[in-house]
Amino acid sequence: MAACIVCEGNIDIPEDTEEGEIIECPECGIELEVVSIDPIELAPAPKEEEDWGE
């Protein structure tokens, strides 16, 4: 379990979660990046950017 950094709601962190993975807070719906696994650290995920290279 981890606390959402926006609404402090509880967020379940599955066993196979990887660093850099994006998870959604079930309560406020914000997208968070799992910055580190041990210890669990969350940060707001970057804005969606669709523009891509070759």
> For binding to another protein (CB under 8 A), which residues are involved?
18, 20-23, 31, 33, 45-46, 48-54
| Four-residue CA torsion sign, 36, 18, 16, 25 | positive
Give the residue with the Cβ less far from another protein, 28 or 35: 35
Look up residue 1 and give its DSSP letter.
-
- The least CB distance from residue 6 to another protein, in Å, is 17
Find out whether the peptide bond into 46 is cis, omega within 30 degrees of 0: no
Please report how close the Cβ of residue 36 comes to another protein at its closest, in angstroms.
12
Structure tokens at 25: 């807070």
Minimum Å distance from CB 15 to another protein? Answer: 13
